């Protein structure tokens, strides 16, 4: 429990660890969905993150995250190799792809995704908006996804109301949205554990990191103590006491709620 402060609402709550997961939780769900869906991703195997000052209370101003996914053979005609997914926010940007016209704005409707292929580079905006190939080619492609005529909210309501025997799944039902959300917040874990100074190895089915050494500790900055003295910027940083890194990571992965809350049993149909 913590006292209410008007700064938390209506938007800023996502910038505090108690209430949100920063830019990743806010925007990666919209920007990275084409990546997760098109590349048939599941659990990452490796992850690492870095950011501007990481504080105990609030999310950083800018972050870079690298996620590594294993090779996939879950498409009928294509065997997908191991792939790296990089995330940048807070004004940080990747290098511009070769062949992209000078002056071309990459940000479309709040974000950008760059697919680096062996034959071409595919770029789209937030929500997968306005995709194009850097080469300028415009090949005809078949429609492979159901067109949503109503809003995504009402598409979900429709799926809820339909009988389980003949239900048409919503555009991003829980079987897809759940694993995708785990991918997004994996980036948050990488940022919050960056002080371990290692690429973290992830066991997805068992929801745990496998290479945090026994006895490793981690601490987080409480405040930076910034001031200007005689015209010079100075810092007097305050940190938490060191805590066991494996226990800290386990708590981030699965929170211990103060009242031991649990969800009611879900209906079977």
What is the per-residue pLDDT across 188-240, written as a single tens digit (0 to 9) for each?
Answer: 999 999 999 999 999 999 999 999 999 999 999 999 999 999 999 999 999 99
DSSP class of residue 110 equals T
Asked, for residue 11, whether it belongs to a domain, the answer is: yes
Bridge partners of 64, per DSSP, are: 50, 88
The token duo for 113 is 């995704």
Asked, for residue 129, whether it belongs to a domain, the answer is: yes
Residue 269 pLDDT class (50, 70, 90 cuts): low
Residue 144 pLDDT class (50, 70, 90 cuts): confident
Asked, for residue 247, whether it belongs to a domain, the answer is: no
Domain span at 118: 6-137+153-204
> For residue 123, what pLDDT is reported?
98
CATH number for the domain harbouring residue 117 = 3.30.360
What pTM does this model have? Answer: 0.91
CA of 144: how far to CAs of 10, 58, 141, 153, 167, in Å? 38, 41, 9, 21, 19
How many domains is the chain partitioned into structurally? Answer: 1
- How far, in Å, CA of 181 to CA of 169, rounded? 18
Asked, for residue 269, whether it belongs to a domain, the answer is: no
Asked, for residue 39, whether it belongs to a domain, the answer is: yes
Residue 259 pLDDT class (50, 70, 90 cuts): confident
Asked, for residue 107, whether it belongs to a domain, the answer is: yes
Out of 95-104, 108-117, 167-176, 233-242, least confident range: 167-176
CA of 165: how far to CAs of 124, 172, 190, 262, in Å? 36, 19, 40, 28
Residue 258 pLDDT class (50, 70, 90 cuts): confident
SS3 26: helix
Compute the Cα dihedral for 200, 203, 209, 210 and give only its sign. negative
Asked, for residue 78, whether it belongs to a domain, the answer is: yes
- How far, in Å, CA of 224 to CA of 236, rounded? 6
Asked, for residue 43, whether it belongs to a domain, the answer is: yes
Whether the per-residue pLDDT at 129 is higher than 80: the answer is yes
């Amino acid at each position: 429990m913590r006292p209410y402060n008007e700064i938390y609402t209506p938007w800023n709550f996502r910038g505090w660890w108690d209430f949100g997961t920063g830019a990743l939780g806010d925007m990666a769900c919209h920007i990275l969905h084409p990546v997760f869906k098109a590349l048939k991703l599941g659990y990452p195997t490796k992850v690492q993150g870095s950011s501007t000052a990481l504080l105990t209370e609030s999310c950083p101003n800018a972050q870079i995250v690298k996620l590594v996914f294993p090779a996939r053979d879950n498409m009928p005609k294509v065997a997908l190799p191991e792939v790296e997914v990089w995330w940048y926010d807070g004004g940080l940007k990747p290098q511009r792809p070769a062949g992209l016209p000078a002056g071309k704005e990459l940000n479309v409707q709040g974000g950008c995704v760059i697919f680096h292929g062996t034959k071409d580079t595919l770029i789209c905006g937030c929500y997968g908006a306005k995709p194009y190939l850097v080469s300028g080619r415009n090949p005809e492609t078949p429609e492979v996804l159901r067109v949503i005529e109503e809003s995504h909210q009402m598409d979900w309501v429709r799926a809820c109301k339909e009988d389980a025997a003949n239900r048409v799944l919503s555009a991003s039902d829980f079987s897809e949205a759940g694993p995708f959300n785990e991918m997004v917040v994996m980036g948050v874990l990488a940022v919050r554990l960056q002080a371990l100074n290692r690429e973290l190895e992830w066991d997805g089915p068992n929801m745990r990191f496998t290479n945090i050494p026994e006895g490793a500790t981690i601490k987080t900055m409480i405040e930076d103590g910034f001031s200007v003295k005689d015209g010079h910027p100075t810092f007097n940083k305050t940190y938490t006491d060191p805590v066991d890194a494996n226990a800290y990571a386990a708590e981030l992965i699965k929170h211990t709620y103060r009242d031991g809350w649990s969800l009611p049993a879900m209906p079977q149909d």
